[in-house]
Amino acid sequence: MSDRTDLINAFIDRAGWSAARCTFLAGDASNRRYFRLIGENDNAVLMDAPPEKGEDIRPFVRIAEYLTGLGLSAPKVLAEDEATGFLLLEDLGDALFARVLETEQGLENSLYSTATDLLAELHGHAPPDNLDPYDPLLMTELAALAFDWYAFAATGEKAPDARRKFRDTFQPLLSDNTTETVLIQRDYHAENLLWLPDRNGTARVGLLDFQDAMIGHRAYDLVSLLQDARRDVAPSTESTMLTRYIETTRQEDDAFRTAYHLLGTQRNLRILGVFTRLCVRDG
């Protein structure tokens, strides 16, 4: 038995869940792992985020408490140990949007309209203090990962001139069109949203994987939702939800659509670069 396993068992025991059955639930692109604790009367989720591997549970706790304070359905924190990197969380179930829509495609409008309304509601509140900005410089550098990794993997040649021209063109466009100050979760998509039909209103959307939240433009999470790299959203759904958000929040139509498409370009270039790097460098 590893030292980490011993620490997990000790944390579970201190949290009062020693009698529960522990099953592996999921991993992600970070060093975090998730386990489900199956108790006699209830379940919980254990997040294992090793500090020695650069993980920190504090951002998750902070954003979870902010979101639940607004009446939204982030997992409640049941127990925590910052030193060892463990969280025990409310189990919101397995009904990910992506999973639900595999078998019930007719629910796409209901799920996406509720998730869009959640963003409109969230963006009406002041964000937490001291979050880092997702600013044009950072966004440009992250988008340029596509030139660093994908272009090289596709052609076998580095493209420093193309990268420089992209940076010099794209960053001013972002500066002119995408500066705003709302909380963005940054991975707001069908693999990170749960459908909770027994709850009411926007609380029917369960929120996951928001620990990397920053301050940015209000179109960013809408792009994540509607231009999902992991599932094809119907073009009619994208168009309807984009208009729904604009009208609900009374945005200036042309300006918001410009920001939306710029951020779509940025996000998809970043994804292209990040996942090529994961494949080529990290295996």
Report the pLDDT averaged over residues 116-123.
Answer: 99
For 132-148, the pLDDT digits (tens) are: 999 999 999 999 999 99
Q: Give the chain's length.
A: 283
Place of tokens 């020695």: 52
Report the pLDDT averaged over residues 91-99.
Answer: 97
Q: Give the span between the Cα atoms of 208 and 90, in whole angstroms.
A: 11
Mind giving me the DSSP string for 46-61? EEE--GGGT--SHHHH
Q: Give the span between the Cα atoms of 192 and 60, in whole angstroms.
A: 14
For 35-60, the pLDDT digits (tens) are: 999 999 999 999 999 999 999 999 99
Question: Which pLDDT score is estimated for 30?
Answer: 72
Q: Give the span between the Cα atoms of 202 and 195, in whole angstroms.
A: 10
Mean pLDDT estimate for the chain:
95
pTM of the shown model = 0.93
Question: Which pLDDT score is estimated for 1?
Answer: 52
Element (H, E) at 38: strand 33-38
Place of tokens 């025991």: 13
% of the chain exceeding 70 in pLDDT = 98
Model confidence at 281, pLDDT cuts 50, 70, 90, reads confident
For 1-35, the pLDDT digits (tens) are: 578 999 999 999 999 999 999 999 876 667 899 99
- If we measure between CA atoms, which residue out of 67, 60, 118 comes closest to residue 89? 60
Question: Which pLDDT score is estimated for 58?
Answer: 97
Question: Which pLDDT score is estimated for 2?
Answer: 73
The structural domains of the chain, ordered by start, are 3-90 (3.30.200.20), 97-280 (3.90.1200.10)
Model confidence at 204, pLDDT cuts 50, 70, 90, reads very high
- Residue 165 scores a pLDDT above 90: yes
